[in-house]
A and B are shown apart, each in its own frame.
Chain A
């Protein structure tokens, strides 16, 4: 009885379902196509993908992730060959802390040289170091004076750069940190 009623209503209203059916059919074609396009990965490099690049570049990619005392990380490329990493250092107690911040890749046959500078916004007495391939580079000393670090990226390597800060007096407020990498 119920199924007969349902069939009667369906037959009556069935013709109104045709546009809905057409829309669904279109969606069944379009949505998978868009999904396939979206699933195609991209790379951060904006060069010739056939492997022959007109200009050699060290690829600088932000590692990301969660850390207790570094947040709001972001990376920007203000001009060609220049990468700028910024983050906010959260107030913390005495101690030595580090976090992987950037992945540097050199896919070429020759080594590349980078000039790295950086510091904290208020130039507090927190020495800042960059650690790359087990070597430490001081970019801001305990007096707040910044240094330029020259880092050599060997050929065909992909390594992580760490930011390290040694806090000898507790940091009572959040502070911005930036690291600028210029390719020579």
Chain B
């Protein structure tokens, strides 16, 4: 198996687990917070045979919205943390002034402590897109508050933009834009 594939598989396990765990815990925490009854039924007519039902529509809307929001944040926060560190790391590699600034702020060690890589970042961004997509679809179907869907879309777009900028700076290092750098 290729190294890249193995790396991707290894990187994907943590965000996948966080996604499922975050959603599961947030749903049941919110249901117990509301003190609502819930029913688990078998519904062979739909794709998923086991479905969770709440007794009233307002509770379902509340639980769906906030559980999607919590899951979104669980994926978005590590993604942006890694993105910021990766961006600073890549910038520091190409610009010595940034190294000076990082040293002054006393965060150079944090930036360089762990090798940041684009594959890891890409996997996390894909997971952010997955949860943002689920949230947006849920908002369109009016099962989630619209502001949660908008927030999900915005976070996913920001993360993608950050990743593309970092990728651009990385490729610029290998294939510089300025023609005078070529022989």
Closest beta carbon of chain A to B90's beta carbon, Å: 25
Q: Tell me, in angstroms, the Cα distance from A76 to B127 when the chains sit together.
A: 39
Q: Does A18 contact B (CB under 8 A)?
A: yes
Interchain nearest-CB distance for B157 vs A (Å): 19
> Which of A32, A37, A45 has a CB less than 8 Å from the CB of B57?
A45
**How distant is A120 from chain B, measured CB to nearest CB, in Å?**
26
Whole-angstrom distance between the alpha carbons of A40 and B12 in the complex? 23
Interface residues on B, range: 35 or more
Interface string of A95-133 (1 = CB under 8 A from B): 000000001010100000000000000000000000000
Kindly state whether residue A38 has any CB partner on chain B within 8 Å.
yes
Closest CB in chain A relative to B127 CB, distance in Å: 8
Q: When the two chains form their complex, are residues B23 and A39 in contact, meaning their CB atoms are under 8 A apart? A: yes
A1 interface residue, CB < 8 Å from B? no
B13 within 8 A of A: yes
Indicate if A35 sits at the interface (CB-CB under 8 A). yes
Chain A residue, CB-CB nearest to B137: A37
In the complex, per-residue mask of B30-58: 1 if CB is within 8 Å of any chain A CB, else 0: 01000001110000000010111111111
Is B105 close to A, CB under 8 A? no
Q: A28-B16, A33-B134 are in contact. Are A43 and B54 (CB under 8 A)?
A: yes
Cβ-defined contact, A43 with B27, below 8 A: no
Interface set, chain B 65-117, CB cutoff 8 A to A: 67-68, 71
A59/B55 in contact, CB under 8 A: yes
Question: Closest CB-CB distance, A27 to chain B, in whole Å?
Answer: 9
Residues of B within 8 A of A (CB): 1-2, 5-6, 8-9, 12-13, 16, 19-20, 23-24, 27, 31, 37-39, 48, 50-61, 63-64, 67-68, 71, 126-127, 130-131, 133-134, 138, 142-143
Give the top 4 A-B pairs by smallest Cβ distance, nearest first: A43-B60, A41-B52, A17-B1, A21-B5
Q: 5 interchain pairs (CB within 8 A)? A: A29-B126, A42-B51, A43-B53, A49-B142, A107-B58
Interface set of A (CB-CB < 8 Å, partner B) = 14, 17-18, 20-22, 24-25, 28-29, 31-45, 47-51, 59, 61, 64, 103, 105, 107, 158
